[in-house]
Amino acid sequence: MHDDEEEKVTSGFYLSRPLLVIGLVVLILGVGIISFVQAGGRQAIAKSWLGWFLPSFSLEIKASPSYLPADGNSTTLIDIVAKDKHGQLIDGSDIEINLVQGIGDLTNSADMPSNVSKQVILRTPAKPQVIIIEADFRGIKETVTVDIFDPAPPAVPTLKAPADKAVITTAIPTISGQGPVGTKVEAYVDDQQNTIFTVDSSGNFAGPLEQAIKRGQHSLKLISINKYGVRSAASIPITIEIRTPDPEIDLANLRIKPNPAKAGEVFYVFVPVSSNTQSVKLMIENTSYALADRNRSSIYSATLRAPTSPGLYPISLIITNQGGDSVLAENIASLKVR
């Protein structure tokens, strides 16, 4: 007689249909979990909130340096750090290191630091390429990229402007020229690095110097530098002459308030100057005071204290232009103290 609630599985054994369904579900889930873990799901779980309930690990791999010349001899250190969920360092004997992309020699470091789980040394090949190294710890995988570059120096940049023996009336001249795409161009004035320009996608660069130049003759040359720090030979130096004008003082609008001033009390000074002025100092009683252009309006001002003795005190000004050249305007005004 057949029972609708039970099925005969083997001779002498019977299994209810609900239990059969549950068994099939468990079997399917088991197969799925195994496939998921083998496909890298272990790493995804470890990084999710579910990892709180499972044995959890973190894995980090880094290269120092991350780029090397393709000379067949240079080396970089690959550090691998594995930690448990308590932040404790894990021994690296179970960590596998693989070359995922590129060619290079990997050897274990003989002098591994105590703050890493494992350290290997990569010796570069003689051919430029991108090498990808993978660290695998119990299904958790992380990679690092090492750029093996051509050690040949970049091409020498060319200078378009200014021309050789040019006379320039500003302390911050504009430089323009051409260089290899993807590089920067260093401008040297009197063999001292002054400014770094970025070469655009068309191979051009232009801009003012960052550091002002004093009056007189100066040498100017350029050097290309690529992203790996490899520099070209220097361009042939040219000579430029800086002839900046002296800063000017607007005497008609120079103000000292109050004047006369009371002995030992505060007075204010306002000195309007030309736009090529870098700094202004006021001298009174053999003491100098720096004035400030607070509103960037080329009006330099200060709050000072008058001498303690009555009298007429001459005021001189030291004006410095953007190139650092100074002029002295002696006895340009006076302060009466009563």
Write down the pLDDT at residue 25. 65
Query: Residue 1: inside a domain, yes or no?
Result: no
- Is residue 15 predicted with pLDDT exceeding 80? no
Same domain for 325 and 309: yes
pTM > 0.75: yes or no: no
For residue range 42-58, list pLDDT tens digits in order: 454 444 444 444 457 89
- Is residue 172 predicted with pLDDT exceeding 80? yes
C-alpha–C-alpha distance, residues 119 and 189, integer Å: 45
Write down the pLDDT at residue 38. 53
For residue range 191-225, list pLDDT tens digits in order: 999 999 999 999 999 999 999 999 999 999 999 99
Give the CATH number, domain containing residue 257. 2.60.40.650
Q: Which amino acid is at 103?
A: I
Same domain for 190 and 171: yes
Q: What are phi and psi of 26, to 5 degrees?
A: -60, -40
Same domain for 123 and 70: yes
C-alpha–C-alpha distance, residues 119 and 138, integer Å: 17
| Domain range for 95 | 57-149
Give the CATH number, domain containing residue 186. 2.60.40.10
What average pLDDT does the segment 174-189 reach?
97
Same domain for 287 and 231: no
Domain's final residue, options 91, 117, 149? 149
Q: What is the mean pLDDT of the chain?
A: 88
Q: Which residues contact 269 (CB under 8 A, 6 or more apart)?
A: 255, 256, 257, 282, 291, 301, 302, 304, 315
Write down the pLDDT at residue 168. 96
Write down the pLDDT at residue 290. 96
Query: Residue 62: inside a domain, yes or no?
Result: yes
Write down the pLDDT at residue 164. 97
- Is residue 68 predicted with pLDDT exceeding 90? yes
Higher-pLDDT residue of 50, 135: 135
Q: Which amino acid is at 143?
A: T
Q: What share of the chain is helix, strand, coil (3-state, %, to 5)?
A: 10, 50, 40
Same domain for 81 and 67: yes
Please give the tally of structural domains in the chain.
4
